[in-house]
Amino acid sequence: MKLKRRQFLFFGSLSTLGAGIFSFLGRQNSNYTYTAAVANTVVAAKPKTKDLLLRFVSVADTGTGDRGQYFVAKAMTQYHSQNPYDLILLAGDNIYTNGEIEKINEVFERPYASLLQKGVKFQAVLGNHDVRTDNGYLQMKYVNFNMLGRFYTFRRDKPGTASAKGERIQFFALDTNNNADWKNQLIWLENELSRSNAPWKIVYGHHPIYASGVYGSNPDFIKIFTPLFQKYGVQLYINGHEHHYERTKAINGTTYLICGGGAGTRPVGSSEWTDYSASKLSFAAYEVYTDRIEISGIDTDNRIFDKGIIPLKST
């Protein structure tokens, strides 16, 4: 059954941004790599390994304050108790319905109180609901969202192992809203990617590039980001907006991961490039090693319902 796709309102004319920033918009190919999923295993503590660089999780579309959000937060806390992590990528729609910062206790501080008390750091981006009030300005300034701007980058590595070359994992946080400063943001992103010496490059934002849900894939984003990610070796893009879980096969070297089941769910289908999809209250967990990233989709029953691997050099 073909899912209904609502056209996402994107910025007016790409041509006005100048030929320079879009010189990378080359012709795409259909280079997909399949990774099998391993489902329905109970989360358990993993043995410590010296090869693990970083463990982190991601979740999106969380800020309702409803039972679904608490169920997912509880599962995130349970996972932390067995497999400690100190970073959460919060991929937008942090405060429903209109991004009102006065709701921050109800929709963020209380649901995640245990994780915040343990010193887990959230790094947020803005979703479409977040920019409805003051264009998200007060969320940007909120200390526990740790936003360094509307778009920003930061690096992480195994504690005590950073070398003179810098940390081995670099994150790039984007503002994917239709009122974003697209001209300057895309120039910034290409500049940051081009000079990054991090072997692992992970980009995240609120809106999907590839998706099999209610909204579907975004043709403009595919045209812009797919060749850009391929050119600079981005291995992973993480987003929300679609209220489901979906992991793609590697598309021109990049895996696309939707983790929008942080408080509620909507139906999801599958596409030729889908490796796994599910309409589940859930979050995603990642273990970054020198040669691979291991991804786990985890539901509110503390079960790993999906497992995938991204090699350092995806093809």
pLDDT averaged over every residue in the chain: 88
The tokens of 43 are what?
Answer: 């989360």
Look at residue 241 and tell me whether its pLDDT is greater than 80.
Answer: yes
Output the six-digit token pair for 133.
């009030």
Alpha carbons 109 and 101: distance in angstroms, whole number: 11
Render pLDDT for 121-134 as a digit per residue (tens, 0 to 9).
999 999 999 999 99
Q: CA 12, CA 203: separation in Å to the nearest integer?
A: 24
Report the b/e string of 97-135 with b at 16+ CB within 10 A: eebbbebbebbbeebbeebbeeebbbbbbbbbbbbebeb
User: Residue 43: what pLDDT?
Assistant: 85
In this predicted structure, what is the pLDDT of residue 33? Answer: 37
- Show the tokens assigned to 284: 């995603």
Around 26, how many Cα atoms within 13 Å sit in the side-chain half-sphere? 9
Question: Over 50: is that where the pLDDT of 16 sits?
Answer: no
- Cα separation values, 302 from 204, 278, 284, Å: 24, 15, 12
The residue-averaged pLDDT of 262-272 equals 98
> What average pLDDT does the segment 307-311 reach?
98
Q: Percent of the chain beyond pLDDT 70?
A: 84
The residue-averaged pLDDT of 183-190 equals 98
Q: What pLDDT is attached to residue 313?
A: 80
Task: Using the predicted structure, report yes or no on whether residue 296 has a pLDDT greater than 80.
Answer: yes
Picking from 75, 28, 98, 6, the residue whose alpha carbon sits closest to that of residue 285 is 75
Question: What is the distance between the alpha carbons of residues 283 and 83, in angstroms, rounded to a whole number?
Answer: 14
pLDDT tier, 252 (very low <50, low <70, confident <90, very high otherwise): very high
Residue type, 166: G
Q: Measuring CA to CA, which residue among 260, 302, 294, 296 is closest to residue 279?
A: 260
pLDDT digits (tens, 9 = 90+) for 70-118: 999 999 999 999 999 999 999 999 999 999 999 999 999 999 999 999 9
pLDDT for the residue 162: 52
Q: Which residues of 278-299 are buried (b: 16+ CB within 10 A; e: fewer)?
A: bbbbbbbbbbbbeebbbbbbbb
pLDDT at residue number 44: 84
192-220: per-residue pLDDT in tens?
999 999 999 999 999 999 999 999 999 99
Whether pLDDT at 41 is above 90: no
Stretch 283-311: mean pLDDT, rounded?
A: 98
pLDDT at 266: 98
